[in-house]
Amino acid sequence: MSNIIEHLPVLQIVVPLVAAPTIVLFRNSTLSWILAVLASWFCLFGSITMLNQINGGGEIPTYLIGGWDPHVGIVYQVDIANAFILTLLSGISAVVFVYARTSVRDEIPEAKHHYFYAALLLCFTGLMGMAITGDAFNIFVFLEISSLSGYALIAMGRNPKALTAAYRYLIMGTLGGTFILLGIGFLYMMTGTLNLEELSHAVPHYAETSVVRAAFAFITVGTCIKLALFPLHMWLPNCYTYAPSVVSAFLSATATKVSFYVLLRAMFMLFGAALIAQAKIFLSFVIFLALIGIFMGSLKAIGQDDVKRLLAYSSIAQIGYMVLGLSLDNADGLTGAIIHLFNHALTKGGLFLVMGCFMYRLNSTKIKDLAGIGKKMPLTMLAFTIGGLSLIGVPLTAGFISKWYLAMGALQAGMWWLLVLILLASLLAVVYIFRVLEAAYFGTPEKEHDVEEAPFSLLFPTYVLIGSTIFFGIWTEPMLGAARKSAELFLSSGGAL
Amino acid sequence: MNFIIAASSATHDASTIGGHGTFHYILIMALMMTGIYLILSRSNMIKSIIGLNLFQVAVIMFYVSMGKVEPGTAPILMAEDVPHAEHDGHHDEAHDADSHDAPPAAHSPDPKKDVELGAHTLDHSKKVTVGPTTSKVSKITYSNPLPHVLMLTAIVVGVATTALALSLVVRINEHYGTIEEDELEDKGVLI
């Protein structure tokens, strides 16, 4: 058993990476689905094993790829923050991939199924790789693996607007990726290493040079593009609106979250100690951007008539909350940011799966088409209601815990006025969620729907994600423990910003 | 600009790189800005993609120029720099050959020979260090090969991005009959 644990870090990448081309070879829809599900379940099992090991006080040995010395080779290093993100990623994929079967058969032509699953697995591989790798250049490579397959996945949407959405995302995403590459180049120039561990020790020595500052600027802006932080969010709404339902759910729950994790790593582990002098100005600027993002996203969400688009704008607002927690620069705020990352992934993933159910039955996610649907599809609508409550942050849902911690962090930082703003923004969330609920439960349809409840194969995975938002809202210990330990790890490494 | 190159184990001041100071960085930045300007200003999708390519090429050139160490040569192991060359060239080669033969010998059906060879290799494995973990200080200055290797990956990524972008443009053209972002906006496609 110990032998397997030793190799688990690399298997997390190798298994889905090998499964993807295998799927293309088989050219069979069912078989490719089975392989994709098996690969994601294997990764889930692996990450839970590693998370348990670390939670139990153990350590996962650093994996040296090809046995090369860490200075020249690539290392995979799993710590508590990593293992937490990996578990989240593979957990979401394990659920979404199961859901994919029915939804993909409905939305993607049969001949493209194996390509779709292969791209989905590659995207998953890239995201897992970004989280697990301990090599700066490797982050860029995995980022591009996940992004390239992501563009292709988005372009597979039925609406031809998916093409222009994917094109826009490609241009923005490549700019972001290349910015990160340039930043990594600057760091390598100064330190002569790409190993994140060595970088975190070396960067503080060059903290006052313009090269390190340029590296910081490029890496931060690059990750913020991938993260869709205001004002770099323009690509996101169209992508989530026109992508196939499965892709919307998968990307909204994972892609931006991993980018946020990379931003956390870069800020706290690489540049933390290096930028103490400029920290105050920088952090207040980031708080400003995060707040604009929260309010702009929420207000725009209220005005949308397509629920998928509404959820996409709400995502921009939620990303604002995460960045807000990061920029508070204290343990509670950071814990709040990490918990928010976790439960927003569950909530938004679940809500987009609900949209997939509507897409399957109604072929539309427009609010006017959803009028009165609460009577025809009560279970689906109940899932949306629970997810919506978690998005608002009602007690007993996971959304409440993260907002609570963000509020605590704001108090600790002495910014009580943030409490008012967080509360106000939550009220905006109430407005846009209730617009949908009102239409669905009390609206009168233009013409009577002759639809029935979404099939079990779609409802079950949806309820697993939606149910988990309640589960983690009540049984907070596992999520809170891991998030707090991750926050401490970030704050203790290289010192706070 | 206080650029410092850390390559191999030696650090060189920027003024000595390629003998041209920071001149090449200015060129690279100019190329990069040209790329970004193209992306932002052109409404034609193909031209935007060209801009994207210029931008990526600039970063690639940045990496490649960064690997140059004055007065370094191409990073190919020179004869006089082979480990233990100062001893006996022939002798060393024999050792090298032994250590390379060792892994197949481990599966040899003859256990006697196996043990003998194994012991032989073990004996010399301490002396012969192969691979990048060698901590010996080289007599010859090489340019740093790592940035070049990294850029191989980045070039592949760039090619994949361009291919994907062009295929998207082809599909967009099929659906809307135009690749001008302005015209697409007029049709209400790009919001």
Interface of B with A in 67-96 (CB under 8 A): none
Closest partner CB to B2 (pick from A72, A151, A209): A209
Please answer whether residues A326 and A406 qualify as being in contact, where contact means their C-beta atoms are separated by less than 8 angstroms.
Answer: no
**Which pLDDT does position A141 carry in this prediction?**
93
Q: Which two tokens stand for residue A56?
A: 């139990």
Closest partner CB to B172 (pick from A141, A167, A178): A167
The closest alpha carbon to A422, from A344, A320, A349, belongs to A320
Residues A366, A368, A373: CA angle, nearest 5 degrees: 90
Please report, for residues A212, A243, A327, B63, the alpha-carbon distance to residue A208 in angstroms, rounded to integers and kept in the order given. 7, 44, 21, 22
User: For B98-111, what is the mean pLDDT?
Assistant: 38
* Gap from B165 CA to chain A (nearest CA, Å): 7
User: For B47-73, what is the mean pLDDT?
Assistant: 88
Asked if A175's CB is within 8 angstroms of B4's CB, the reply is no
Higher pLDDT, B23 or B6: B23
Domain assignment of residue A259, yes or no: no
Q: Does residue B154 sit at the A interface (CB-CB below 8 Å)?
A: yes
> What span, in angstroms and rounded, lies between the C-alpha atoms of A169 and A158?
17
Q: Does residue A163 sit at the B interface (CB-CB below 8 Å)?
A: yes
**Which pLDDT does position A369 carry in this prediction?**
82
Q: Which two tokens stand for residue A278?
A: 């400029």
The domain spans of chain B are: 4-76+140-186, 86-125
Domain assignment of residue A156, yes or no: no
- Greatest alpha-carbon span in chain B: 83
Higher pLDDT, B153 or A330: B153
- Per-residue model confidence as pLDDT tens digits over A407-449: 888 888 888 888 888 888 889 999 999 888 888 888 787 777 7
Please answer whether residues A269 and A282 qualify as being in contact, where contact means their C-beta atoms are separated by less than 8 angstroms.
Answer: no
Domain assignment of residue A363, yes or no: yes
Domain assignment of residue A400, yes or no: yes
Neighbours of A70 (CB within 10 A): 18
**Confidence class for position A276, pLDDT limits 50, 70, 90:** low
Q: Does residue A221 sit at the B interface (CB-CB below 8 Å)?
A: no
Domain assignment of residue A179, yes or no: no
Mean pLDDT of chain B: 68
Domain assignment of residue A205, yes or no: no
Look up residue A314 and give its amino acid: S
Please report, for residues A31, A206, A262, the alpha-carbon distance to residue A25 in angstroms, rounded to integers and kept in the order given. 11, 49, 33
* Gap from A80 CA to chain B (nearest CA, Å): 29
Q: How many domains does chain A have?
A: 1
Asked if B154's CB is within 8 angstroms of A151's CB, the reply is no
Q: Does residue A159 sit at the B interface (CB-CB below 8 Å)?
A: no
* Gap from B156 CA to chain A (nearest CA, Å): 10
Domain assignment of residue A170, yes or no: no
Q: Which fold has domain B4-76+140-186?
A: Helix Hairpins (1.10.287)
Q: Does residue A416 sit at the B interface (CB-CB below 8 Å)?
A: no
Q: Does residue B142 sit at the A interface (CB-CB below 8 Å)?
A: no
Q: Is residue B11 classed as helix, strand or coil in its secondary structure?
A: strand
- Per-residue model confidence as pLDDT tens digits over A457-491: 888 999 998 998 888 888 888 788 888 888 888 88
Asked if A211's CB is within 8 angstroms of B164's CB, the reply is no
Range of the domain at A413: 278-497
Q: Is residue A404 classed as helix, strand or coil in its secondary structure?
A: helix
